Chain A
Amino acid sequence: MAEEIYGKPGSAGIVQTRYYTFAAPPGELELQCGEKIGPVTLAYETWGTPDRAGKNAILICHALSGSAHAAGYHSPEDKNPGWWDWYIGPGKAFDTDKYFIICSNILGGCTGSTGPASVNPATGRPFGMSFPLITIADMVKAQHALVKHLGIEKLLAVAGGSMGGMQALQWTISYPDEVESCIAIATSASLSAQGIAFNEVGRQAIFNDPNWNAGDYYDSAIPVAGLSLARMIGHITYLSEKHMHEKFGRNFQKSGMQPVSGSSEFMVESYLRHQGIKFVERFDANAYIYITKAIDFFDLNGDYGGSLVNAFENVLANYLVASFTSDWLYPSDNAKEIVRALRVNGKNVNYTDIDTDNGHDSFLLPNDLLEKNISNFLRNEYRQSTQ
């Protein structure tokens, strides 16, 4: 989400995206909506080496706009590291010297995995809006197939922020015996009405772009205006009011501009527009619609008769939950609900509400406390699992 990923010494190095294709007919992947899909391809990357006992594997789950490329570089010329490079690498929180780290692009995504932009084998044309509805549990089911394919019986940890945190929580519920621990950051057991509202405005921006053409735009002009507007709205929700003020203030993009002139552009305007345009180059509008829908529909309360306590009744994982004080998209109270449900069930849970002004984006930005907590948590979980 945040585009500025600060690198720091200890890069995970050059990494190649790989692909795993499975669920070929007649063994299609059954989705929560009742439909089947197959074959399914997942793009994934790995860092580090599996240990002999197979106990050091960690699955990283990405958020709305993420990809399998969580750390390192694709080539020596590559200027931008992966989206969680600050936290994944030798000596970092997810220490690639110690752990075998996996990150895959979600089912329904648009950076290598099967999604709405993929070709429907039945028609020979891109799925577009005929792609089946995907849920967080479906994404997890597909990841599970990949993890099995990689020969891992039990993950040391599943970790993610935002929608990635939703997947991490879902993992512990879907496959309780196969996850030692869960790291869920800046996330929720169900998105707030406010969050759904912002997602819907983003989707409407895409729907209202004539180029969207009911999702059938793969042979023509793409809905640039709609998708970039959706991204701009998203970016507002990822920052806190204070962070935005400190970052941009009321400054103009070009100094010396007349305050009252039609062409005057505030820095914040320029920033959002830039984010929007950059996003369109790498993201598919239909995928944006499908993924935001998956986020909106995720509801662990609803899945278990309105009780989050019931949802976590049979989990076996140990948890690290973290929220950020200035995150208003996934507010701290959402995390506290998760923590509450876990501790009522007597589960092992660590929780910190980290004090920061960086809003929802905090999980992607450097944070010493988060780094330290993840690192200590993993060390302890690894020690316990190998005892």
Chain B
Amino acid sequence: MEELRTGYDLVVESVAHGSKILDLGCGDGELLLRLQEEKKVKGFGVEISEEGVSLCMEKGLYCYQADIDEGLSDYKNDSFDVVILSQTIQNTKGPDYVIKEVLRIGRQAIVTFPNFGYYRNRFYLLVRGKMPVSKHLPYQWYESPNIHLMTIHDMRNMADHVGFEIIQEKNFSVRNDSSSIVKTFMPNFFAQYGFFIIKRK
């Protein structure tokens, strides 16, 4: 799960103290735990695997097993201060539907994802003619959970299509010590990951 922990430091610094949080695709709950410890949030997790839920419970977190493609409609509007989609949106069947629902149930959303426009990904495809496989995109196409790959540009374009407002971008790459470094210069080319804080218009 190491590759999925990317950007946790940026998420933690972006969340206000004491917020009510929903973490969609929370995995083993590491991010939620950090948010609880460092930001005293009231957090819930949603995770598709029973192992993930179990690991969350081991950390004393509240988490339920569900497929977010199926079940967000039950939540009332503005149920959460922040809904987090950390390295999750590219795994969903209907990213536009999920984003719309997330913006309905949360006042804000933080969305992070691998940026397919990152220059190494572009060169990999250009030179080798194969889908990029790297440290931060570690899967062969046939085994990848990433079923909707996109770029930072794509995410910006989605704002108009779905109708959300981009509050802030913190597109980033990961250093060797796995801390994040925000890329502000040509992020669609130089950032390994997209990081968007958005809200509904």
Contacts and interface: CB of A to CB of B under 8 A. Distances in A.
Interface of A: 318, 320-321, 336, 339-340, 343-344, 346, 348-355, 369, 372-373, 376-377, 379-380, 383
Nearest to B49: A352
Interface residues of B, number: 18
A343 B65 contact: no
A343 B74 contact: yes
Interface of B: 44, 50, 53-54, 56-58, 60, 62-66, 71, 74-76, 79
B90 to A, nearest CB: 24
B57 A339 contact: no
B64 A376 contact: no
Given A343-B75, A383-B60, A351 B54 contact: no
A355 B53 CA distance: 13
A343 B60 contact: no
Contacts, number: 56
B50 A354 contact: yes
Contact of A377 (B57, B66, B79): B57
Contacts of A373: 53-54, 57
Contacts of A369: 50, 54
Given A350-B53, A355-B50, A376 B60 contact: yes
Contacts of B62: 318, 348-350
Contacts of B58: 372, 376
B75 A351 contact: no
Contacts of B53: 350-352, 373
Contacts of A344: 74-76
Contact of B50 (A320, A321, A352): A352
A55 to B, nearest CB: 17
B64 A380 contact: no
B60 A346 contact: no
A352 B65 CA distance: 5
12 contacts: A320-B57, A340-B74, A343-B44, A350-B53, A350-B56, A350-B62, A350-B64, A351-B65, A352-B53, A353-B50, A372-B57, A383-B60
Contacts of A339: 64, 66
Given A352-B65, A372-B54, A373-B57, A340 B71 contact: yes
A320 B60 CA distance: 12
Q: Which 7 A-B pairs have CB atoms at the shortest separation, nearest pair first? A: A351-B64, A380-B60, A348-B62, A376-B57, A352-B50, A352-B53, A376-B58
